[in-house]
Structure formats: structure tokens, C-alpha cells
């Protein structure tokens, strides 16, 4: 594609799909639908949230209508609490009211919350309709790629879900310019994660370019998101359903997801929780005898970004330990952790002593 648009592919045979990254894409959604043969006679449901609606829903809908499509809009409250069965039910009602049929498409326009929710709607409505991701947060470079879709349960993150791939991902970098700074910082956690698991040079680049990234410098942001999506696309292409390799994308999430659930969804942003979790995993690396500088480098980078690196002191350690038992990697009574072995490399450990994890959680609590 022309116009400074970069393209990556998630290689899944017949279900392969492109990730388009660049400026000015929202206004091209309709053309892309037409080029890709999306049915004109079947209505589309655009799912978005209250903040994104005002900013970007109109452009996307107009672009689709210009090509003859019928689009209905469903708006959910902004934030993590919308990843619930209640809101899911509202979205199924919206599908029915808009008259979606088996050739219809659900579009997710927003961050990871909207993407995960809308994807689960697309996966389940009539046992599956077409699905397109239009991410609008930095964090959503991760969530829009790879087909993990889900809603939360009070006790566990993402515990009700499916693997359901989109047909394309259209990442309009212009939309990121309206992000609040807290969301920018939180989104950078997953960017850094992709470096920490795969590419030491990219971690060094992130470290050198924190100021530019925080200032939403278009060139730096475009590069960082392309590199992040590239790692994600490679990993998902090799192991779509997390039989082995894909678990590395979960670096920092064993602790992070537990913190989100225990704090109450939305208190700690996902990116904030996993920044803390990644510091915890780096500390675990030290326990296994890997270079202690892994923890220092990881923590220093998150501090430079301005992400939290300590567990809020009011969270209860027993509750955090209990919540970790609902992690999807937990198996046969054993916690499973993604552990860095160096900057840019990780291994999956099934032999982590619970006592070590408790010690790390206690040690990372504010005030300790």
C-alpha cells in the first residue's frame, strides 16, 4: 500500500491476514472492505467505546457508507469493566437489533478492551461472523493481532474467551495523537515486552527513544509499533493456540493479571500491571541464577517511561497469590512463569517454587 503504509502478515495458511500500519487509514476502511469483498447487503456492527466514539467512529462509518455499506454503532463505557458478560450480552442484543446475518462483520474500533470484547462477540454471534480490528491505542498493537478474544470474570482475567482471528488489522497511527499520557505509558509496556522476549537491540532502541515515544513522535512511534507487531505476528504464526512458544507473549502477565483482578478491574491499567509483573519476572530470573542486571535494566526502563514498578501497598499478598492460580498457564498444581534469561530472551519455567513467588510479590509491594 502507498502513502507511508507498512504491512505485516500473520501467517496462518488460509486464515492469514494483513496488519496495515500508517497514517490516514481510517478514511480508507470502506475501500478496503470493498477490495476484500465484504458483503454490501449484510449490515456491519461497529463496536467502540464512549471516548473513541466521539473522535473516530464518524470517519469510519462515513468511509463505509461511501462504498454502500450499512453500519450500526454500539458504544460501551470506556475502560476494563466493559470486558464483562453483561456488556457482552448488550453487544449480542446490538447485533440482533442491527439485523446482523452470517455474512455480516463486527468491527472493533478502540483499544484492547473493545478489541477483546468485540472479537468475542464476533466469535460467538451465530457461531462466528467476520471480524476486523481497528486499534486506536498503543497497547492495542498487541491486542489487535493474534486472535485472543475474551471477557473477564470477577476472579480471573480473560477467562471467558476464544481464539478468533480478525480478517485484517488496520492501525491508523494518527489516532494515537489523542491518547492520554497515562495510556501512552501503559501501552509502551507491551512494546517493551516484545523487545524483552525477542530482541535486545529493540530494547536498547526503546531505551534511547523513550522521550520521543512519550512525545508521540510519529517516526519513533511508527517504528516501535511495527517492531512490536512484527514480533507478535512471528510468534502467533508459529503457535496460534499457545501450545508452547506463544506463552512467551505472557511475560509479566502471571503477576500482572492477578494484580488487575485483585485491585478491581480498571484500577491498575493492563499495561501498568504487566510492567510490575515484568519486573517480578526479571527478579525471578535472578533467583534462577541469571544475570542480576536483567532486573536492573528492566526496572530502569519502566521507571524511565514512568510506569509503576511496585505493587500498590494496599493489595493483599494472599489474594494476589490466590489469583495467580487462575492464570491460564497454571497446570497440574504448578504456576508457570515466563522468565528472562537475558535481555531479549526468555524461557518458560514449570518449576518455580511458590515460596519464591510469594517472596517476590512481598518484596515488590510499595513500602518494602
Ligand X SMILES: NC(=O)c1ccc[n+]([C@@H]2O[C@H](COP(=O)([O-])OP(=O)(O)OC[C@H]3O[C@@H](n4cnc5c(N)ncnc54)[C@H](O)[C@@H]3O)[C@@H](O)[C@H]2O)c1
Active site residue 41: no
* Shortest CB 99 distance to ligand X, Å: 27
30 or 271: whose CB is closer to ligand LNCXM5UN? 271
Active site residue 260: no
Q: From the candidates 28, 73, 148, 193, give the one annotated as an active-site residue.
A: 148
Interaction of residue 195 with ligand LNCXM5UN, rule CB under 6 A: no
Q: How many CA atoms lie within 13 A of 229 on its CB side?
A: 27
Beta bridge mates, 291: none
Q: From the candidates 14, 127, 219, 314, give the one annotated as an active-site residue.
A: 127
* 82 annotated to bind ligand: yes
Cα–Cα distance measured from residue 173 to residue 26, given in angstroms and rounded to the nearest whole number: 10
Beta bridge mates, 6: 21
108 or 290: whose CB is closer to ligand X? 108
- Contacts with ligand X by CB under 6 A lie at 49, 51-52, 55, 78-80, 83, 110-114, 116, 136-137, 139-140, 142-143, 146, 148, 158, 175-176, 178-179, 183, 186-187, 190, 269-271
Contact 366, 268 (CB under 8 A): no
* Shortest CB 351 distance to ligand X, Å: 26
Within a 10 A sphere around the Cβ of 79, how many other Cβ atoms? 15
Task: Show the CA angle centred on residue 127, arms to residues 124 and 131, nearest 5°.
Answer: 65
* 153 annotated to bind ligand: no
User: For residue 367, what are the contacts with CB-CB under 8 A and spacing of at least 6?
Assistant: 313
Within a 10 A sphere around the Cβ of 237, how many other Cβ atoms? 17
53 or 327: whose CB is closer to ligand LNCXM5UN? 327
* 60 annotated to bind ligand: no
- Binding to ligand LNCXM5UN by CB under 6 A, coded x per residue (else -) over 226-245, reads ----------------x---
* 157 annotated to bind ligand: yes
* 326 annotated to bind ligand: no
Within a 10 A sphere around the Cβ of 35, how many other Cβ atoms? 10
175 or 250: whose CB is closer to ligand LNCXM5UN? 250
Q: Which does 139 bind (CB under 5 to 8 A by kind): ligand X, ligand LNCXM5UN, none?
A: ligand X
Q: Which residues of 305-335 are buried (b: 16+ CB within 10 A; e: fewer)?
A: bebbbebbeebeeeebbebbeebbbeeeeeb
* Shortest CB 22 distance to ligand LNCXM5UN, Å: 23
Active site residue 246: yes
240 or 295: whose CB is closer to ligand X? 240
Interaction of residue 272 with ligand LNCXM5UN, rule CB under 6 A: no
Q: From the candidates 130, 257, 283, 328, give the one annotated as an active-site residue.
A: 257
Closest residue to ligand X using C-beta atoms = 112
Which strand (E) or helix (H) includes residue 140?
A: helix 140-143
DSSP string, 176-229: GGG--HHHHHHHHHHHHHHHHHH-HHHHHHHHHTHHHHHTT-HHHHHHHHHHHH
User: For residue 137, what are the contacts with CB-CB under 8 A and spacing of at least 6?
Assistant: 110, 111, 112, 176, 179, 183, 187
Q: Burial of 14 by CB count in 10 Å (0-12 exposed, 13-18 middle, 19+ buried)?
A: exposed
- What is residue 300's three-state secondary structure? helix
Q: Which residues participate in the annotated binding site for NAD(+)?
A: 78-83, 112-116, 136-137, 148, 157, 175-178
Catalytic positions, please? Answer: 127, 148, 190, 232, 242, 246, 250, 253, 257, 270
Annotated binding site for Zn(2+): 190, 253, 270
- Sites of contact with ligand LNCXM5UN (CB under 6 A): 142, 146, 148, 157-158, 190, 242, 246, 249-250, 253, 328
Amino acid at each position: 500500500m502507498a502513502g507511508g503504509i507498512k504491512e505485516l502478515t500473520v501467517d496462518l495458511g488460509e486464515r492469514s491476514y494483513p496488519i496495515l500500519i500508517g497514517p490516514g487509514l481510517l478514511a480508507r476502511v470502506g475501500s478496503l472492505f470493498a477490495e476484500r469483498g465484504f458483503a454490501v447487503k449484510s449490515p456491519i456492527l461497529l463496536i467502540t467505546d464512549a471516548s473513541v466514539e466521539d473522535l473516530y467512529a464518524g470517519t469510519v462509518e462515513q468511509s463505509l457508507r461511501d462504498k454502500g455499506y450499512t453500519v450500526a454503532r454500539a458504544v460501551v463505557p470506556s475502560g476494563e469493566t466493559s470486558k464483562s458478560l453483561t456488556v457482552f450480552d448488550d453487544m449480542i442484543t446490538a447485533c440482533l437489533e442491527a439485523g446482523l446475518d452470517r455474512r455480516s462483520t463486527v468491527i472493533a474500533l478502540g483499544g484492547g478492551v473493545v478489541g477483546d470484547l468485540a472479537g468475542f462477540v464476533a466469535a460467538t454471534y451465530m457461531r462466528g461472523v467476520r471480524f476486523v480490528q481497528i486499534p486506536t491505542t498503543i497497547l492495542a498493537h498487541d491486542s489487535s493481532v493474534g486472535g485472543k478474544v475474551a471477557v473477564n470474570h470477577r476472579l480471573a482475567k480473560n477467562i471467558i474467551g476464544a481464539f478468533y482471528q480478525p480478517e485484517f488489522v488496520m492501525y491508523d497511527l494518527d489516532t494515537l495523537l489523542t491518547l492520554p499520557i497515562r495510556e501512552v505509558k501503559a501501552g509502551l509496556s507491551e512494546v517493551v515486552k516484545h523487545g524483552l522476549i525477542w530482541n535486545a537491540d529493540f530494547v536498547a532502541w526503546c531505551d534511547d527513544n523513550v522521550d520521543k515515544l512519550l512525545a508521540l513522535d510519529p517516526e519513533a512511534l511508527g517504528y516501535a509499533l511495527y517492531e512490536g507487531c512484527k514480533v507478535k505476528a512471528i510468534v502467533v504464526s508459529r503457535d496460534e493456540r499457545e501450545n508452547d512458544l506463544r506463552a512467551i507473549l505472557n511475560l509479566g502477565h502471571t503477576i500482572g493479571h492477578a494484580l488487575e483482578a485483585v485491585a478491581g478491574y480498571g484500577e491498575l491499567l493492563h499495561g501498568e500491571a504487566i510492567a510490575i509483573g515484568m519486573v517480578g519476572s526479571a527478579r525471578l530470573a535472578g533467583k534462577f541464577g541469571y544475570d542480576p542486571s536483567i532486573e536492573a535494566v528492566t526496572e530502569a526502563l519502566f521507571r524511565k517511561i514512568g510506569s509503576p514498578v511496585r505493587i500498590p501497598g494496599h493489595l493483599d499478598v494472599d489474594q494476589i497469590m490466590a489469583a495467580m492460580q487462575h492464570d491460564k498457564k497454571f497446570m497440574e498444581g504448578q504456576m508457570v512463569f515466563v522468565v528472562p534469561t537475558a535481555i531479549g530472551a526468555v524461557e518458560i519455567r514449570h518449576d518455580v517454587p511458590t515460596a519464591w513467588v510469594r517472596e517476590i510479590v512481598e518484596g515488590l509491594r510499595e513500602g518494602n
